[in-house]
Each structure stands twice: as structure tokens, then as C-alpha cells.
Amino acid sequence: MAESNKQVTAEFLAKRHQLLSFITGLLRDPLEAEDIFQEVWLKLAGALEKGIVIEDQAKWCRKAAKHLVLEHWRSRRTAKVFADSTLVEFLDFVDQAYEENQSLHDRRPELQRALNECVAALPARSRQLIALKYEERLSLNAVAERAGQSAAAVIKALLRLRQSLASCVEKKLKLEELGL
């Protein structure tokens, strides 16, 4: 049990900045966010002490944080934010978006590899536009000038390229999942 508690503590501390960012994003006050963060730790420790099995600690902690933030807002009747059902739905949406973002973050190396392969398969002219805009970080007007095109043409070309690259990356990842 002591080893399990050490693992839970290590995981909690390893994800500290993510959970604290989530809470701070909801409260917009770093000091209050730190207090909620500490309360989440106490709730987690209490749950472990009761023998509750927690499959996904990060998700469990975000849910606990969400409820603590709602309690915090409800306890402050003078607060500008009133915690009603719409706000609860919004917090659920934020939690879901955060979870999806974490999933993407975990897949970042394979996404980057697929993107690099897709960019490499583009025609030289398209790779040049992408390099000017995203590697050199030039403004659209500067890209247009260097590419010898109008700004409107560059905007359309970059839009099409982003759509094409997104589709290519998605296809590559699906083929990988299927083992092809």
C-alpha cells in the first residue's frame, strides 16, 4: 500500500502544472487556484485512504477540482460569477476539451512525424509557402511578396495546404492504427 501511495503521489506531482493550469484557468486567481489544488490533493489522499480505486487519476483530479471550483463560487454569494446549470455544462465542456487536448499531447511525436512526411510529399512550391509562413514566420504580405503572388492567393493556398495536410496526417494515423 505504501508503494501505491508513493506512485499516486509521484503521478500527482508530475501532473501538478497541468492540474494547476486547469484550475487557474477556471478561477483566474493563482492564489485561490493553489488553495483548490491543495484541496484536490486532500480529497485524493482521503479517497486512497478509504480504499477507493482510481483508474484515471488526472481525470479524477480534474473532476474533483471542477466540483471544488463550483463550491468555491457558490460559497461567495457576492462573487460576480453565479454557478448555475449552464456554468456546470460549460465546466464539463472545458474538462472534455482538456482531456482531448491531453490525448493529442500524448500523441504529439507520431503527429509530428506524420506531418513531416506529409509536408515532404508536397510539391516544392507548396513547401516554400509553408516554410515562409511557418518556419520564417513572415506576415502574409511578406510571403506573398517573396512568392510573387497576391496576398489573397497566398491566403487561399495556405488554407488549401492546411486542409490537405490535416487530411494527409489523419490518413497516415488511421493507416498506422490498422497496421498498414
In the predicted structure, residue 98 carries a pLDDT above the cut 90:
no
Among 47, 69, 59, 52, residue whose Cα is nearest residue 11: 59
Query: For residues 48 and 69, what is the distance between their CA atoms, to the nearest angstrom?
Result: 21
**Residue-wise pLDDT tens digits, 13-55:** 888 888 888 888 888 888 999 999 999 999 998 998 898 888 8
**Residue-wise pLDDT tens digits, 117-171:** 999 999 999 999 999 998 888 998 999 999 999 999 999 999 999 999 989 988 9
Cell of 135: 518556419
Where does 108-177 sit in CATH, by number? Answer: 1.10.10.10
pTM for this entry:
0.49
Grid-cell match 497541468, residue found: 18
Contact 93, 85 (CB under 8 A): no
Contact 110, 176 (CB under 8 A): yes
Segment holding 154, helix H or strand E: helix 151-177
Q: At what angle do helices 140-147 and 151-177 cross, to 10 degrees?
A: 100
Q: What stretches of 131-150 show up as alpha helix (H) in DSSP?
A: 140-147
